[in-house]
Structure formats: structure tokens, C-alpha cells
Amino acid sequence: MLKIDAHHHFWNLNEVAYPWLGPRFEAINRTFEAADLEPILKEVGIARTVVVQAADSYEDTAYMLKVSDTHEWIGAVIGWVNLLDPDETARRLEMYTRHPKFRGIRHLIHNEPDAEWILQPRVIESLKVVAKFGVLFEVPDAYPRHLKQVPTILERVSDLKVVIDHLAKPPIRARQMADWDSQLKAVATSKTTWAKVSGLNTAADHANWAAADLMPYVDFALQCFSADRLMFGSDWPVCLLAGDYRKVFQESAAVLERYSQAEREAIWGKTAARIYNLNIKEGTT
């Protein structure tokens, strides 16, 4: 079965500034690069990955694209552009989309003090540019601040392709579903939205979590999106705040094993291969 990790990061503290890192995240406040991840991918059988921005900077995007050039298993890159400037967004996307692995953009909207940042008119105009280029817009850590805004974004930019990272970080630790469930369901009504089964361990009790804690949330997402719009992701190295890559992989497998063969194949790899246009040869495992 084809397995793709549709969400992970790299960061090199000597090359790029990551303002959100610091003592609060001591376990991951160091450089993490491809050489650290590659042996684990081989061990668990991941064929391709999608590396996602970890800083709102062009330096971070340039770094990811450079690393992707020398590692075949990196299938796609989600970078960053300045959404506050539609003209700059267009210039940058004109350049980035020439790279064979560039697939979309993300902004760390959960770090913006303004809860309405994403709804600013100039940001909406930039998202229209993103839609025009046909690349993906990924939304991180969207609940409870931003998940409810996604339908509004899609009303204003109807052809925008949106990926919800980490199932929007549902309230797993609190063992609640509302209002996350109604908001996710509203997002899923648009057929230009997808979601990642990723980053759930850090939404749970960091010291004591297992597949059973994740199941109600993944099950609900499956009902909303169907397997053809869901993708597995590790969220490495952020996942190290609550376990490690192997535990995330194993517990995710325990969640997914209850689904049909076709559903498992979609979530493990087929959805990501299609959405990120990974061009993986048939028979790759």
C-alpha cells in the first residue's frame, strides 16, 4: 500500500528564523533536517512526503525548495507568500510555480494577533491570485479561531482549493466535539476542501494518548469528507512534543485499520498523491 506523509516540516536555525520557537517548545527548539527524518521514513515505509512551511518568510520557502531538489522522497513543498500584497503574491507565485515541487502556500494565521487577519480585503484579493494560479491554500491550527472563517473565505474566493491541516486541531484533550464538529462539517460541504489526519497527538493529552482518543475525531472527519478528501500526516518534528514519529504512525494505523481497504488506501496515500500531483509510479510502496 502506498504511504505518503502529507505533512511534516524542516527547520535549520542557522539559515532561517522561526520566531515562534523558543523555551516553550524546548523539545523541538533545534535544527531538524532531511537526514534526521529519512531513516524513519524508510523504517515505516513512507514513499513520499509533503514538507510544509514553518515560518512566514521567503527564506523558509527557499530552504524547503533547496532541500527538495536533492531528495526524491520529498514530493511537494507548501511555501509562503505575502498575502498582504496581492501584486507581490502574483510575482512570487509566478516564480515559485516554475519549481517542479511547489504546490501551494500557507500562512501561520494562528500566530496573528488579529483574529480576523485572514478576512482582510487585501488578503482575500491575494487568495484570489492563489486560486488563479491553481495552487493549494493550507489552513493551520484553525479551531477555534479560524475554522469557522473558512466557509466565508470560500464564499469570497469560490475556486480556492483549501486544505485543513491537523483536522483543525479538535478539542481532543477536553474530550469534546462541539463546536468543532459543526464547523468542520460546514467546511466539508465545499468540494474544494480537503483535510489532514495529522497533528492530533499534540491536540490530545501529551503524556497519555492512544488511538482510542483520536478515533471519534477521525471517524467524524471521514463522515464529512470521505476518504478521498483525507490524508495522513505526521506533523514531524512538532509531533515530538507528545511522543515520536513511530508512535504517531502506529496509532494512526490503529485508527485506520477499522476502515475498508479502499478507505485506508486513500487516506494513507492515494488522496495526497492526487491532490499534490506527486506523479508516483504505479507499484511504489
Residue pLDDT, tens place only, 30-48: 999 999 999 999 999 999 9
Q: How confident is the model at residue 282 (pLDDT cuts 50, 70, 90)?
A: low
Contacts 24+ apart (CB under 8 A), 176-181: 177/216, 177/217, 177/220, 179/144, 179/148, 180/143, 180/144, 180/147, 180/217, 181/220
Q: How confident is the model at residue 280 (pLDDT cuts 50, 70, 90)?
A: confident
Is pLDDT at 19 greater than 70 in this prediction? yes
**What is the average per-residue pLDDT within 214-230?**
98
Q: How far apart are alpha carbons 199 and 81 in whole angstroms? A: 23
Q: How confident is the model at residue 22 (pLDDT cuts 50, 70, 90)?
A: confident
Is pLDDT at 283 greater than 80 in this prediction? no
Is pLDDT at 177 greater than 60 in this prediction? yes
Residue pLDDT, tens place only, 108-143: 999 999 999 999 999 999 999 999 999 999 999 899
